[in-house]
Structure 1
């Protein structure tokens, strides 16, 4: 088997050519065309339409694009949280609609919006409402993805920077040691029926990238990068350095076991997609 073949014949999986037609068509939309796409694709509800977002790059498998990044900040006590955009009201079709959007996020030149997360049904989650009452901390979920989390935390505990101090040597015996230390969790999901899943990593690679890129300097902190952990293919929950990933050469990546989509957490790219509107009423 070719070492570069991530879909060996014995796996029974098909190779996918990722969204060449749809992706190329959207990528070529100009300013006037974007308005037409918005009009043609927007359903009743709040927001939605053609959206640019920063994401961890999809590098293999059927997923059409990367998973959207969540800007990270660290409070004065060392607890990790996701930054929520500025909440404001705008007129859409004669109606006053609340949105959450920050232009020129921390001087990066990037407009950061909750529309980044409006896919896979997440647009209907309570935590995506702009004014949802949340402290925005990353908290441990009911089923942590890594053994070290289960040993250190209880459900709903806030993730803390001190627990990532071994990030340069951490290993779960999958792939290369010392690339970074991951955690899974939830965000803006207190007392909510639906949980917004997140994953984050502290890595020296992230620190190096942030020193060279205005967006990453603004959206990462002390080597931490985070993203909404919903596969853009069929909305499963992938995992960094997960079981079975080595068979598809994804042992150092974020791997979705459902249909073998692979994401590179150390490659943050700009994506273009049609965000779904938030339900209203």
Structure 2
């Protein structure tokens, strides 16, 4: 990509941070030992971080270097949806002790470190012991007409809101693939800069995937699947069936990032690795 004038002032650190995110993500493509050495030499001090394995929605086109991390879904006894967050515990690595939320799920290690990228590692909700209830809450400015008219921003997401998921459509791509919503997670009483945006979809495809896949069976419920909605390219917020123009990029039925045309398949969940950024040291 050709060099261009840095539109962000030097004191903002904006462009340097974005390049750091992309560079760290690219490390997943080199040998583990080499990447570990580079990470040790370049990562800022903090809690957690380093190379991790995770599941995410596959990046199928565009400049994004990897998938967006999946959020395991639970439905409580009243029908409200929430994201699974492991119990926090102290761990020691390379002589440093820090707190991490980590558990075994579907045969793999699911950890809060999945979400330590794009500046999110500084958000209150990513602290393993943050006082959050884990419920998904509707975004206040969603692009879906159904969400604008039927629910209010800040309401907890409920299964009954998706009863028409087998037929829902909005004129973008094919109808009946799944019903989406944009929401937030672990973001009560925080600044807008610390909000964790999520893409939520209920689909028959997810139900079918869960029949023969241990991880999907453990991380989804009633056809609901969710991911942290931060594009791994430049940390923009993409969307499923949110922009009619996505069709020209073959993404009408995909999660599409309008900023730089990255595309993600919400029905292709893959396991890969990346270099999670450390959280700032707790004060």
Asked if Structure 1 and Structure 2 have the same fold, meaning a TM-score greater than 0.5 normalized by the shorter chain, the answer is yes
How far apart, CA to CA, are the structure 2 residues paired with 1:61 and 1:221? 30
Q: Secondary structure at the match of 2:114?
A: helix
Give the whole-Å Cα distance in 2 for the aligned partners of 1:134 and 1:71: 16
Distance 2:233 2:251 in 1: 17
Structure-1 separation of matches of 2:190 and 2:96: 27
What's the secondary structure of 1:173's corresponding residue? coil
Native 8 Å contact 1:51 1:273 kept in 2: yes
Q: CA deviation at 1:152?
A: 1.4
Q: How far is 1:33 from its partner? A: 5.3
Find the aligned partners of 1:156 and 1:279 in 2 and give their Cα distance.
28
1:120 is displaced (CA, Å) by 0.4
Structure 2 length-normalised TM: 0.86
1:257 maps to 2:258? yes
In structure 1, the residue matched to 2:28 is: 26
Count residues in correspondence.
256
Q: Secondary structure at the match of 1:111?
A: strand
Report whether the alignment pairs 1:118 with 2:119.
no
Equivalent in the alignment of 1:168 = 166
Provide the secondary structure at the position in 1 that maps to 2:232: coil
- Aligned-residue offset at 1:155: 1.7
Report the CA distance between 1:101 and its aligned residue: 0.8
Q: Aligned equivalents of 1:262 and 1:68: distance in 2?
A: 14
Match of 1:151, SS state, is helix
| Aligned-partner Cα distance in 2 for 1:59–1:200 | 19
- SS for the counterpart of 1:277 is coil
CA deviation after TM superposition for structure 1 residue 171, in Å: 0.4
Q: CA RMSD in A?
A: 1.7
Q: TM-score, normalised by structure 1?
A: 0.87
Match of 2:222 in 1: 222
Equivalence map 1:188-199=2 (5 Å): 188-193=186-191, 194-199=194-199
**Equivalents in 2 of 1:88, 1:49: separation in Å?**
18
Alpha-carbon shift at residue 86 of structure 1 (Å): 2.2
Aligned to 1:154: 152
Judge conservation of contact 2:240–2:253 (CA < 8 Å) in 1: yes
Q: Deviations over 1:249-275 (max 9, x none)?
A: 110000000000000000000121111
Q: Supply the distance in 1 between the matched residues of 2:197 and 2:143 (Cα, whole angstroms).
A: 11
